[in-house]
Amino acid sequence: MTYDEKAITVKWDPIPMPPPVQRPPAGGELPSTAIGGGAVTVRYNLYEVPQGAAQAKLTRAALDEPTYADARVVWGEERCYAVRAVEIVSDLRIESVAGPTACTTPKDTFPPAPPANLLSSPLEGAITLIWEPSPEKDLDGYIVLRGESPETLKPITDAPIQATTYRDDHAASGVRFVYAVKAVDKAGNVSGLSNAVEETAR
């Protein structure tokens, strides 16, 4: 199993199909007709296996491929799965017992997107900043950074701020500063830097 912010992806080894009972026609032979039923097809149903509860089928229809994406991602919540094979012969369907149960507990290690379109405006003894919000639902806020060059950027906010604007009242007049912003989510993951801007307070 693997996961990202959008889904838990479950994969399993497909059941190897047996070789056909009758070989294909060769040369001038006429094709034969199998006796007792048509070809056998194997598909799969995926079940969730909650602790202390009955298995719940997740697949509306049996799957052709041995993979399934479960979009119900909840950080820190364990998910357990089991697969059942479905053998199809003509109109007859036979489902196997469940295979071994496999579990995973997704952890949020994915940083939010960097804030976009950072803009600055000079004031008398101050500089104002504005940027576009990051789209993540679990966003905790933003960290504003300032330096005299891109290499010397340091945070000037003690904790993440909720607003998408910031006024730096400690920008010395006549000194050119570089600014950038990072986004932080509730799990503590920090984004990369926004675009940098340079500005000088009047």
pLDDT tens per residue across span 55-96: 999 999 999 999 999 999 999 999 999 999 999 988 889 999
Q: Which CATH architecture has domain 116-200?
A: Sandwich (2.60)
**List of long-range contacts for 13-17, beta carbons under 8 Å, 24+ apart:** 13/66, 14/42, 14/66, 15/42, 15/85, 17/42
> How many angstroms separate the CA atoms of 94 and 12, rounded?
19
Q: Identify whether the C-beta of residue 44 lies closer than 8 Å to the C-beta of residue 66.
A: yes
pTM of the model: 0.74
pLDDT tens-place string over residues 144-171: 999 999 999 999 999 999 999 999 999 8
Domain ranges of the chain: 2-104, 116-200
Q: For residue 122, which of 46, 181, 173 has the smallest C-alpha distance?
A: 173
Q: What phi and psi values does residue 183 have, to the nearest 5 degrees?
A: -100, 150
**Three-state DSSP class for residue 150:** helix
The fold adopted by the segment(s) 2-104 is Immunoglobulin-like (2.60.40)
